[in-house]
Each structure stands twice: as structure tokens, then as C-alpha cells.
């Protein structure tokens, strides 16, 4: 049986900023270690939630070095994206040099084109190292939709393609992938409010968002579902869903960071062009959080 390398709950870790706007490496280290202590399997920095598109190259490399040191032998699997193929290849190689154990490869920022060009970009980045790769499909954010047959084509040509993070929000896409992916390519859920459905369809990993504020609940939900304890999983899922849905709206970065701050696990600071939430948006998010906190009996089933 092929060994799974991306199994379990992998936080798409947020990037903490100090008051002066620089990356807060001390908190980054503490936050990653705290989530690992709650049962997470590794970390996925520099993705959409990690505000990777607002970080400079040197900042990205420094983040990777901090996390590799903080996690020891546990995997750090950074998001690899750039405006150019050359930039993405450079970052992939730097990630390997920093000690990362895998890569999550995204399509290029801004430019969206046909499969011929997207395949050339993805192939160049995948082939830049020998690290195992997760293909990240998020047509909602990046306007590029990698169809199941195209993913299969990349996996057939590149043996280090070992996973797919599916974030199209279409559960039917998860079932389509589960039906055709070879055993060595793992399927990972990429949107928080489709976790239970994704695991039931065959996903073996979850790159999660609200895990940044609720790691114990996230790990428990995943493990209950994987174990086939559907009554318990459904009960916890229903409790968690209003929070998980904060991961699927345009201001998901601001919202998740705000929930982190409200629960004592981070700061709401974001990097421009993002701005922190308005008072009205904060009040709405507080209502969602307060409703969850008012029924703690549903947690720890």
C-alpha cells in the first residue's frame, strides 16, 4: 500500500504581523507548535489564507525557515505561487533548501489562460524539485479550474505529484477525483464547510482554515468522520459549520484572523490591500463566535 504523506489536518497557517507590519516570527513559531500539540499533521504556509501574495520573497523564505525549525520532523508544505513561472520555480527551490518536505503548487497570480499554458507553468514548478507536490485547484480565487482529467494528466507525467487540494466548492468534483486518482495521489479537502462531505467521498486530508483558532475541534471532526462515527461527526459538524463558513467568503482572511484574536490565539492584523474588519463586520462575526461558545457541550463528543 502506498504510504500517505499528506494525511490528517494540515493548517493553512495565517501569517502574523507585528504592529510595525513585519512578520512576527516569535508568534508564528508558538502558533504552529500549539496547533501541532492539538493533533495537526503539519503546516501549509504562504497560501491564500497565509496572505502569500502580499509577502516578499525574502519574507516567505524566512517564514519557511522558522516553521521548519519549529516543527522538527513534521512536514512544512508551503504554497508556491508567483506572478511568473520563473518566480514560482525560484520559490520552490528555496523551499527545498529551507528544509520543507513538500510543496503546494498554485497557478500563477493574475494571469489566467488555457490548459496549454497552465500545464506548462505547473509542470515547470513541479519539476523544479523532487519534493512531493499537492496541486491546488481553487477556481473561485484564481480563475483557473484544473479539471479532473487535467489533474490526472499532470500526475501521469510527474511522479512527485502526490496530492490534490480541491477547493472548487463542488462536492461532485471531489467524488469525480476520488474515482480516477491513482492510489499514490491523495485527495485533500480545501474548503472548511465541505469537510464531512469530502471525507465521505474519499478525501484523506484537510487543509483547514478555522483550525487556526479551533485546532482541537478541527482534528476531532476529521478523526470522527474518518473513523465512520457519523452521528458524532455530524453533531460536531453542525456546531462548527457557522464558524467554518467564515472560510468561504471574500474576507475570509480578515474573519479567521479576527476569530483568532477573539479567542486569544492571534492578532487580527492583515497586510494591505486588506484592511481589518469594520465595526459592523466584527459585530456579525462575534455573534457567530458567541453562538458557538454558548453550546460547548457539542464539543468533545
The one-digit pLDDT tens for each residue of the chain (301 residues) are: 467 889 999 999 999 999 999 999 999 999 999 999 999 999 999 999 999 999 999 999 999 999 999 999 999 999 999 999 999 999 999 999 999 999 999 999 889 889 999 999 999 999 999 999 999 998 777 888 899 999 999 999 999 999 999 988 888 888 899 899 999 999 999 999 999 999 999 999 999 999 999 999 999 999 999 999 999 999 999 999 999 999 999 999 999 999 999 999 999 999 999 999 999 999 999 999 999 999 864 555 4
Q: What is the CATH number of domain 8-231?
A: 3.20.20.70
| pLDDT value of residue 297 | 47
Dihedral sign, Cα of residue 100, residue 102, residue 108, residue 110: negative
Asked whether the beta carbons of 27 and 16 are under 8 A apart, the reply is yes
For the CA atoms of 37, 39, 45, 48, what is the dihedral angle to 10 degrees?
A: -130
Closest CA to 208 of 160, 243, 251: 243
| Geometric angle at alpha carbon 29, from 23 and 33, rounded to 5° | 150
Q: Which uninterrupted H or E stretch holds 207? A: strand 205-208
Q: Looking at the chain, how many residues does it have?
A: 301
Asked whether the beta carbons of 89 and 57 are under 8 A apart, the reply is no
Q: Which uninterrupted H or E stretch holds 242? A: helix 230-244
**pTM, 2 dp:** 0.95
144 DSSP 8-state letter: -
Instruction: Tell me the catalytic residues.
Output: 136, 165
* Contacting residues for 22 by C-beta, under 8 A, at least 6 apart: none
Domain ranges in the chain?
Answer: 8-231
Amino acid at each position: 500500500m502506498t504510504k500517505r504523506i499528506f494525511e490528517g489536518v494540515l493548517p493553512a497557517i495565517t501569517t502574523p504581523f507585528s504592529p510595525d507590519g513585519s512578520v512576527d516570527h516569535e508568534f508564528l513559531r508558538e502558533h504552529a507548535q500549539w496547533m501541532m500539540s492539538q493533533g495537526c499533521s503539519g503546516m501549509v504556509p504562504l497560501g491564500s489564507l497565509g496572505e502569500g501574495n502580499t509577502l516578499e520573497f525574502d519574507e516567505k523564505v524566512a517564514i519557511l525557515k522558522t516553521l521548519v525549525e519549529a516543527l522538527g520532523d513534521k512536514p512544512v508544505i508551503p504554497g508556491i505561487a508567483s506572478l511568473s513561472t520563473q518566480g514560482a520555480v525560484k520559490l520552490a527551490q528555496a523551499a527545498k533548501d529551507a528544509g520543507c518536505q513538500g510543496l503546494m503548487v498554485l497557478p500563477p497570480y493574475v494571469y489566467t489562460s488555457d490548459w496549454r499554458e497552465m500545464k506548462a507553468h505547473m509542470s515547470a514548478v513541479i519539476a523544479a524539485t523532487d519534493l512531493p507536490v499537492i496541486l491546488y485547484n481553487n477556481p473561485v480565487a484564481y480563475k483557473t479550474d484544473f479539471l479532473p482529467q487535467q489533474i490526472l494528466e499532470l500526475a501521469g507525467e510527474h511522479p512527485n505529484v502526490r496530492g490534490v487540494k480541491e477547493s472548487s466548492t463542488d462536492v461532485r468534483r471531489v467524488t469525480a477525483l476520488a474515482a480516477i486518482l491513482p492510489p499514490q495521489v491523495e485527495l485533500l479537502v480545501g474548503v472548511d464547510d465541505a469537510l464531512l462531505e469530502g471525507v465521505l467521498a474519499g478525501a484523506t486530508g484537510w487543509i483547514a482554515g478555522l483550525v487556526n483558532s479551533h485546532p482541537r475541534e478541527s482534528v476531532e471532526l476529521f478523526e470522527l468522520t474518518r473513523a465512520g462515527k457519523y452521528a458524532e461527526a455530524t453533531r460536531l459538524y453542525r456546531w462548527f459549520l457557522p464558524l467554518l463558513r467564515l472560510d468561504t467568503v471574500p474576507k475570509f482572511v480578515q474573519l479567521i484572523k479576527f476569530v483568532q484574536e477573539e479567542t486569544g490565539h492571534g492578532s487580527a492584523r492583515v497586510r494591505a490591500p486588506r484592511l481589518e474588519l469594520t465595526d459592523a463586520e466584527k459585530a456579525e462575526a462575534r455573534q457567530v463566535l458567541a453562538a458557538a461558545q454558548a453550546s460547548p457541550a457539542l464539543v468533545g463528543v
